[in-house]
Amino acid sequence: MPFDSHGHLMPGSLPNIRQVPQEIVRPPYVGLKTPPPHVGDNTYTTEEVDRIRAAGRVASRALDAVAEVVRPGVTTAELDRVAHEYVISQGAYPSTLGYRGYRASSCTSVNEVICHGVPDDTVLREGDIVNVDVTAYLDGMHGDLNRTFRVGEVSEEVNLLIERTHEAMMRGIRAAKPGRAVNVIGRVIETYAKRFGYGVVRDFTGHGVGSSFHSGLIIPHYDSAPAYGDIIVPGMVFTVEPMLTLGTHEWRQWDDGWTVTTRDKSVTAQFEHTIVVREDGFELLTVSD
Ligand code: MF3
Ligand code: CO
Ligand code: CO
């Protein structure tokens, strides 16, 4: 029973926990209630960035595989299976599996789900949208990205929301320059989103990523100044992952402890990349090549 009589999402049935071959190295938090504290700052050497890029490539190619199977009739559990199989086929670990008790290898967030949707037996319909968020852990590093996919053809309003959310992410990324505070990223994203009257989600943010999944560094997607004044420096690695909505930025969470929806059940989209900041710009670390 994935959608109610208004077409809104409801919790479905969860698939069994997916297995990861024993030879694949687990991140340190697996089996713990909370992750061990992050060690180090949010900057990485060239050799470490190479490893984050390798993890990010696996995650990006996993989403390429997911993109191939998104269509009306597919379940979110099936999208998760495709992501899971690709990640483990590369000898990497799907970072969300066992992270703070989360039980799947991706997040699948449909329509009004802002983020952290749990893959289940929900059957996607023509006109739905689904964000799939995959993080891969390889050689001690995490690479984290997400994309929003259209299921068949979507309304023009939703199509524009998706396009502009991607553009908002890219504008935020381009604003990430050494010497600026990280809240500049959010200011740029919010200013762009407000042109179209979109809601800008505040309580879920970008983050430092690399040797830890979430390092403690917060990257806001709204104009938070003077809060989040951390100064960007070369070698810094973090995600930019704005969530924009057709209505409110306010949210509620399902009793599953994960699924976050808009309060007004308006449709919401998200894109995410992991980036490294350079003296003269940035590099995307979550690309397929
Ligand atoms: N990948 C998500 C992010 O972008 C985090 C998912 S954590 C989970 O930060 F536990 F919900 F999987
Ligand atoms: Co992230
Ligand atoms: Co993510």
Interval between CA 35 and ligand 2 midpoint (Å): 15
Would you say residue 85 has pLDDT above 80? yes
Task: Give yes or no for a contact between 240 and 96, defined as CB atoms under 8 angstroms apart.
Answer: no
Q: What is the DSSP string of 216-260?
A: S-EE-SS--TTSS-PBP-TTBEEEE--EEESS-S-EEE-TTS--E
- Is the Cα dihedral 178, 184, 185, 188 positive or negative? negative
CB atoms within 10 A of CB 153: 11
| pLDDT averaged over every residue in the chain | 98
| pLDDT reported for residue 90 | 99
Interval between CA 60 and ligand 3 midpoint (Å): 11
Minimal CA–CA distance to 109: which of 288, 283, 229, 269?
269
Interval between CA 212 and ligand 3 midpoint (Å): 13
202 within ligand 1 shell (Cβ under 6 A): no
Q: How large is the average pLDDT for residues 3-25? A: 96
Q: pLDDT tens-digit profile of 202-219?
A: 999 999 999 999 999 999
- Length of the chain, in residues: 289
Give the model's confidence band at 1: pLDDT under 50 very low, under 70 low, under 90 confident, else very high: low
Q: How many CA atoms lie within 13 A of 19 on its CB side?
A: 3
204 within ligand 1 shell (Cβ under 6 A): no
Which residue's C-alpha comes closest to atom 7 of ligand 1?
A: 96
Interval between CA 166 and ligand 3 midpoint (Å): 14
H-run or E-run covering 79:
helix 76-89
Ligand 1 atom closest to Cα of residue 107: 12
Ligand 1 atom closest to Cα of residue 95: 12
212 within ligand 1 shell (Cβ under 6 A): no
Three-class SS state of 171 = helix
Burial class (CB in 10 A: 0-12, 13-18, 19+), 278: middle
Q: pLDDT tens-digit profile of 139-153?
A: 999 999 999 999 999
| pLDDT reported for residue 2 | 84
Evaluate if pTM is beyond 0.85. Answer: yes
DSSP 130: E
**Cα–Cα distance, 73 to 106 (Å, whole number):** 19
Query: In the block, which residue shows the tokens 């599953």?
Result: 256
| pLDDT reported for residue 104 | 98
**Cα–Cα distance, 171 to 185 (Å, whole number):** 8
| pLDDT reported for residue 88 | 99
Neighbours of ion ligand 2 (CB under 5 A): 144, 239
Which residue's C-alpha comes closest to atom 11 of ligand 1?
A: 116
- Is the Cα dihedral 286, 287, 288, 289 positive or negative? negative
Minimal CA–CA distance to 279: which of 173, 174, 171, 177?
177
Q: pLDDT tens-digit profile of 152-202?
A: 999 999 999 999 999 999 999 999 999 999 999 999 999 999 999 999 999
Interval between CA 74 and ligand 3 midpoint (Å): 22
Question: Helices marked H in 70-174 — which ranges?
Answer: 76-89, 156-174
Q: Which residues pair with 133 in a beta bridge?
A: 107, 146
116 within ligand 1 shell (Cβ under 6 A): yes
**Cα–Cα distance, 145 to 152 (Å, whole number):** 22
**Cα–Cα distance, 205 to 9 (Å, whole number):** 23
CB atoms within 10 A of CB 253: 12
Query: What angle (nearest 5°) sits at the alpha carbon of residue 165, between those of residues 223 and 107?
Result: 100
Interval between CA 5 and ligand 3 midpoint (Å): 31
Which residue's C-alpha comes closest to atom 12 of ligand 1?
A: 96
Minimum-distance ligand to the CA of 209?
2
